């Protein structure tokens, strides 16, 4: 049995190395410098980062504040958001350097926002508009995300607007709540930059193929909410939400041509994503996978997304490692290809690819404009926005 497993692993590694050699020459990274170098000029800018209390966003927000930005960071818990903001402000003051990037550091402000709760999204957006006054929102980072932990007991069904049909909590936290937020903040997003955190897992999105869902889009505008999921199903559902992020980004860029929509993945990073209940002692799968990169490295990708040009990022998903785009020729465009990119390239081989910004073509189905529009139509209905 062990010999068989070893043979399979060797075969997978050999295939990965073969594909790497085959395609690497035709696939230069967007940046040749270290990832931590390219950060946009953010001095004096208003920036919102959803899911800013934990994980990859925290070190990125630290840098943005140190470079003079005013960052509104969010968490489901206003207390967690304020704690994170206080720590960032304290640290930023320590690192203040009058000869540095700006005249003075900016400020982090922590605010409560639950993206799986329609009322919370409404009040966050009202509160933010008051805080911004007449100013525009320069950068909106749609970063919050969750994966149901094995012992999840928070209720799978949520509703994002009065009278709307229920949707799944994980879909809402990762995608649909962000859709509603963008709809409510649209008037402030003129010539802005909207950054969306997706994942290599979007390749596995279509594996969540319930009867009435095609490529993460419900056929009859009703999401199939369940009351239990096996671990592989949770992962498929996560992939579906991340595919929705990609399709949303492409659809949004068409609707806001003056703005710049940038999609990125932080890569595989050690964060609290596997412990979304935020309870001490919960099992967090990320703590047991030594191949993961750090939250800071993931945050560097977010920073790079504040800088990269519209031309370089248009229609692409930014990766911190080289991804074998041509793998479809060998593996098809279904589950096998998703599993290869997700588990072989990201989990096993990410560390062996030089960490740069690579602009990569996303899963083919996400470029289907009719499907993007169908996703948009369902999202408007489910969030009662237009
Ligand atoms: N880590 C990875 O390997 C990896 C790989 C690819 C993509 N990503 C993506 O990176 C993003 C950040 O994740 P992370 O890895 O940094 O995980 P993390 O440490 O768990 O951070 C997730 C953030 O999202 C917030 N959040 C969770 N559920 C929310 C909800 N319903 N409403 C509003 N905010 C919510 C959390 O805030 P509270 O818990 O305080 O509410 C937290 O600030 C996610 O979109 C994730 O899908 C991560």
Gap from CA of 381 to ligand 1 centroid (Å): 25
Ligand 1 centroid to Cα of residue 262, in Å, is 18
CA dist 68 and 20 (Å) reads 40
SS3 324: coil
- Atom 33, ligand 1: which residue's CA is nearest? 114
Domains recognised in the chain with CATH numbers: 31-320+355-383 (3.40.50.720)
**First and final C-alpha spacing in the chain:** 56
Pocket test for ligand 1, best of 146, 248, 317 (most atoms within 8 A of CB): 146
Contacts for 89 with CB less than 8 Å, ≥ 6 apart:
65, 107, 108
Distance of CA 242 from the midpoint of ligand 1 (Å): 12
pLDDT tens for the chain, residues 1 to 386: 666 666 666 666 666 655 555 455 445 555 544 444 467 789 999 999 999 999 999 999 999 999 999 999 999 999 999 999 999 999 998 877 655 554 589 999 999 999 999 999 999 999 999 999 999 999 999 999 999 988 888 899 999 999 999 999 999 999 999 999 999 999 999 899 999 999 999 999 887 766 677 779 998 899 999 988 998 899 999 999 999 999 999 999 999 999 999 999 999 998 988 777 776 666 666 666 678 899 999 999 999 999 999 999 999 999 999 888 888 888 988 889 999 999 899 988 888 888 888 999 999 999 999 999 999 999 999 999 99
| Residue 309 phi, psi (nearest 5) | -75, 160
Q: Which of 144, 152, 170, 181 to mutate to test ligand 1, by most ligand atoms within 8 A of the CB atom?
A: 144
pTM: 0.91
Residue whose CB lies within 8 A of the most ligand 1 atoms, among 140, 169, 276, for a mutation test: 276
């Amino acid at each position: 049995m062990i010999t068989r497993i070893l043979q399979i692993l060797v075969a997978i590694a050999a295939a990965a190395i073969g594909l790497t050699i085959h395609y690497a020459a035709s696939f230069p990274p967007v940046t040749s410098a270290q990832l931590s170098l390219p950060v946009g000029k953010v001095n004096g800018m208003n920036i919102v980062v959803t899911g800013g209390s934990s994980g990859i966003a925290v070190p990125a927000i630290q840098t943005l504040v140190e470079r003079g930005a005013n960052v509104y960071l969010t968490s489901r818990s206003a207390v967690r958001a304020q704690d994170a903001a206080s720590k960032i402000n304290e640290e930023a003051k320590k690192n203040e350097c009058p000869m540095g990037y700006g005249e003075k550091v900016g400020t982090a402000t922590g605010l409560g926002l639950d993206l799986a709760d329609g009322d919370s999204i409404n009040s966050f957006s009202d509160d933010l508009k008051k805080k911004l006054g007449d100013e525009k929102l320069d950068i909106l980072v749609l970063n919050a995300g969750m994966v149901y932990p094995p012992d999840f007991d928070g209720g799978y069904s949520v509703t994002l607007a009065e009278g709307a049909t229920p949707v799944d909590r994980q879909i809402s936290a990762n995608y649909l709540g962000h859709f509603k937020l963008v709809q409510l903040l649209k008037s402030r997003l003129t010539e802005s930059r909207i950054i969306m955190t997706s994942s290599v897992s979007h390749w596995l999105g279509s594996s969540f193929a319930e009867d009435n869902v095609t490529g993460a889009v419900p056929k009859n505008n009703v999401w199939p909410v369940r009351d239990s999921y096996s671990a592989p199903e949770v992962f498929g559902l996560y992939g579906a939400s991340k595919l929705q992020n990609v399709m949303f980004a492409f659809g949004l860029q068409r609707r806001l041509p003056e703005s710049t929509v940038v999609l990125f993945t932080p890569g595989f990073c050690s964060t609290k994503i596997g412990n979304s209940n935020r309870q001490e002692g919960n099992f967090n799968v990320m703590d047991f996978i030594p191949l993961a990169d750090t939250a800071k490295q993931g945050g560097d990708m977010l920073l790079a997304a504040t800088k990269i040009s519209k031309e370089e990022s248009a229609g692409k998903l930014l990766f911190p490692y080289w991804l074998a785009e041509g793998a479809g020729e060998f593996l098809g465009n279904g589950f096998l290809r998703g599993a290869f990119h997700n588990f072989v390239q990201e989990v096993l081989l990410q560390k062996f690819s030089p960490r740069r910004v690579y602009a990569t073509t996303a899963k083919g189905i996400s470029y289907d404009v009719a499907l993007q529009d169908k996703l948009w139509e369902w999202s408007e209905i489910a969030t009662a926005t237009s």
